[in-house]
């Protein structure tokens, strides 16, 4: 049986109407199947964040149709939309944004307290995830006592605690050193494989993209190319570099480690 699409976007156009009108996405079609790990790449200004914001339901398209996990976000009112986001989606950003006065554990369970989940269920979830994300020893620490990698693992745990089917990540390794970045990417891969959580990640980093199953390249808000991993990560990485060189753009847009 074919996998179910968790994200379906048809002919999506986004026009920003500020002083000058700007078409950030132009008639873009995109589908993500359940369980995929997808990278979105493209030069600066190509529309990656706009695309992620539309998938996140943070922004709506000017034209076109978007369906996320069977739901059309445009049909929801603001309260329904906020609940939809909280229950179906998990977010991981470059800026980790942990609350400084809370411990790691309190930061992680915060989304659950909003839903009034019983404490025993919260404890059960945190115990399982802390093990998977190797946070058991640091649950009592405050964010300023964490390394960059530990802080991002905490943020990933917070994004996973309500068991979303879809994780949206915007440059999740952008502020990390190469060892912490590798650790976070391996973790995202494990979560994707073991929990079958779909992950869509915007990145400038070809190494980060090489952890994914598929890389979608966009240019000037339009589809440019797409490649699938069908062999070793190193060879996939080379193919990603090849497409990036065809794609052009500013070499400084790419952070090669």
DSSP 204: S
Nearest CA-CA partner of 146 in 96, 191, 109: 96
**Closer by beta carbon to ligand ATP, 16 or else 63:** 16
- Is the CB of 18 or the CB of 234 nearer to ligand ATP? 18
Q: Does 18 interact with ligand ATP (rule: CB under 6 A)? A: yes
Nearer to ligand ATP, 23 or 87 (CB): 23
Q: Is there binding between residue 49 and ligand ATP (CB under 6 A)?
A: yes
What is the smallest separation between the CB atom of 112 and ligand ATP, expressed in angstroms?
A: 31
The answer to whether 22 contacts ligand ATP (rule: CB under 6 A) is: yes
Residue of 8, 46, 56, 192 interacting with ligand ATP (CB under 6 A): 46
Is residue 39 a contact partner of residue 209, using CB atoms and an 8 Å limit?
yes
Residue 44 near ligand ATP by CB under 6 A? yes
Nearest-angstrom CA–CA distance, 145 and 138: 9
Q: What distance in Å separates the CA atoms of residue 178 and residue 58, rounded to the nearest whole number?
A: 30
Per CB under 6 A, the segment of 16-24, 31-39, 206-214, 223-231 that binds ligand ATP is: 16-24
9 binding ligand ATP? (CB under 6 A)? no
Q: How far is CA 116 from the centre of its chain?
A: 26
Are 153 and 135 contacting, i.e. CB atoms less than 8 angstroms apart? yes
Among 8, 26, 32, 48, contact with ligand ATP (rule: CB under 6 A): 48
DSSP 140-173: T--GGGS-HHHHHHHHHHHHHTT--SEEEEESTT
**Which chain residues interact with ligand ATP by CB under 6 A?**
16, 18, 22, 24, 42, 44-50
């Amino acid at each position: 049986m074919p996998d179910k699409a968790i994200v379906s976007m048809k002919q999506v156009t986004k026009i920003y109407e500020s002083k000058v009108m700007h078409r950030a996405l132009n008639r873009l079609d995109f589908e993500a199947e359940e369980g995929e790990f997808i990278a979105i790449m493209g030069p600066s200004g190509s529309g990656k964040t706009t695309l992620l914001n539309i998938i996140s339901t943070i922004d709506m398209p000017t034209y076109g149709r978007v369906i996320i996990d069977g739901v059309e976000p445009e049909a929801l009112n603001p309260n329904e939309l906020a609940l939809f986001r909280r229950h179906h989606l998990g977010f991981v950003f470059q800026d980790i944004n942990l609350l400084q006065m809370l411990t790691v554990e309190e930061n992680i369970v915060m989304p659950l307290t909003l839903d009034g989940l019983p404490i025993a269920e919260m404890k059960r979830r945190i115990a399982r995830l802390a093990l998977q994300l190797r946070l058991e020893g640091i649950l009592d620490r405050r964010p300023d006592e964490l390394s960059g990698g530990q802080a991002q693992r905490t943020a990933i745990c917070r994004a996973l605690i309500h068991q979303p089917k879809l994780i949206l990540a915007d440059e999740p390794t952008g502020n990390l050193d190469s060892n912490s970045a590798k650790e976070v990417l391996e973790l995202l891969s494990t979560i994707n494989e073991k929990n079958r959580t779909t992950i869509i990640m915007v990145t400038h980093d070809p190494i980060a993209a090489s952890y994914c199953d598929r890389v979608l390249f966009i240019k000037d808000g339009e589809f440019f190319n797409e490649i699938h991993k069908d062999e070793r990560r190193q060879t996939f990485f080379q193919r990603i570099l090849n497409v990036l060189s065809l794609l052009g753009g500013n070499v400084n847009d790419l952070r090669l480690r």
